[in-house]
Amino acid sequence: MTAPDSENYQIFRDCVSSAIVAKFSPTPRTKKARRPRTTPRQKTSSRADPKPESEQVQQNEFTRTDPEDLADFIDVPTETFPSLQPPTLQTLTYDPNTDFTSDKEYSPQHLAERTSHTLPASITDTLTAYAVIESASDIPYFLAPILGEYVASVTKPPPVWATTRTDACEICERDWIPLSYHHLIPRSVHAKVVKKGWHEEWRLNSVAWLCRACHSFVHRMASNEELAREWFTVERICEREDVMDWARWVGRVRWKAR
């Protein structure tokens, strides 16, 4: 799986984007307490007084950056992700035996220092040109909070599958019929999945909530082994053209009232 297609890359890109947007977002202005008048009220003039300089600056903060200009930073996560150090950071995932929050090797500042030495010069040039950082020495300080958020996101424990029940079928989206849970990795192949290393053990009991019709359709579209290897998430299943056609059709089915 190439980096731009990986889930970890998508998460990293979101972390970088959030940092860039925050950098260019104006700081909310707080109102200062009004001082009591110590001199008699002067006559008002028909000509409006010029706005205080601080208010003019604040308005300029809102208008100086066109949101579309932020698209210029699209190459930052793309070129930075392959440079993450150590390389295992690019495929980092949940591990019940590792506490990433207390592991010094995964502290944000340590990761930022290591990555800053392998970062392409073009990244530094882009960030300095747009005044995101002042110089190359600021790279670790820019990366540290991004990497901290990234590590926390990719290593968080998986959800408790029993609490993921939805109100509607996750394929046809009908919300007025009974639902059952479909094991995304069929139980009959769990032993083979673990032996072959197709998935980590914690993922075995992941489920999708489907109506009976869609549940049956999923088991018709592929064998249990194919479901385990290729179609182990609802998102993957729903990307199939035949599933999209099915969902459009079955979604129009309505039971007649007795």
Last residue of a domain, one of 105, 132, 154: 154
Same domain, 139 and 229: no
Are 143 and 124 part of one and the same domain? yes
Residues 12, 58, single domain; the answer is: yes
Instruction: Check whether residue 22 and residue 145 sit in a common domain.
Output: yes
Looking at the structure, do residues 61 and 181 belong to the same domain, yes or no? no
Mean pLDDT of the chain: 80
Share of the chain above pLDDT 70, in %: 76
For residues 192-208, average pLDDT: 91
If one compares 65 and 14, the residue with the highest pLDDT of the two is 14
Range of the domain at 81: 3-26+53-154
Q: Which long-range contacts does 161-166 make (Cβ < 8 Å, 24+ apart)?
A: 161/205, 161/206, 161/207, 164/207, 164/209, 165/209, 166/209
Give pLDDT, residue 3. 53
Q: Is there a single domain that holds both residue 86 and residue 141?
A: yes
Residue that is last in its domain, among 154, 176, 200: 154
Q: Is residue 65 part of a domain?
A: yes
Q: Are residues 126 and 12 in the same domain?
A: yes
Domain boundary among 122, 154, 186: 154
- The pLDDT of residue 22: 72
- pLDDT interval class at 159 (50, 70, 90): low
- Per-residue confidence band for 136, with pLDDT thresholds at 50, 70 and 90: very high
Q: Is 35 within a domain? A: no
- Does any domain span residue 244? yes
pTM above 0.75, yes or no: no
The answer to whether residue 157 scores a pLDDT higher than 60 is: yes
- Is the same domain home to 245 and 145? no
Residue 229 lies inside a defined structural domain of this protein: yes
Residue 209 lies in a domain: yes
pLDDT for 97-106, tens place per residue?
888 888 889 9
The verdict on residue 256 lying in a domain is no
- In the chain, the number of structural domains is 2
Query: Of 32 and 189, which is predicted with more confidence?
Result: 189
Residue 75 resides in a domain: yes
Residue 36 lies in a domain: no
**What does the CA dihedral 155, 156, 159, 160 come to, rounded to 10 degrees?**
100
CA distance 252 to 174: 9
CA-based nearest residue to 203, from 218, 219, 216, 190:
190
Rounded to the nearest angstrom, the gap between the alpha carbon of residue 171 and the centroid of all alpha carbons in its chain is 22
Residues 138 and 86 in one domain: yes
Give the helix/strand (H/E) hosting 60: helix 53-63
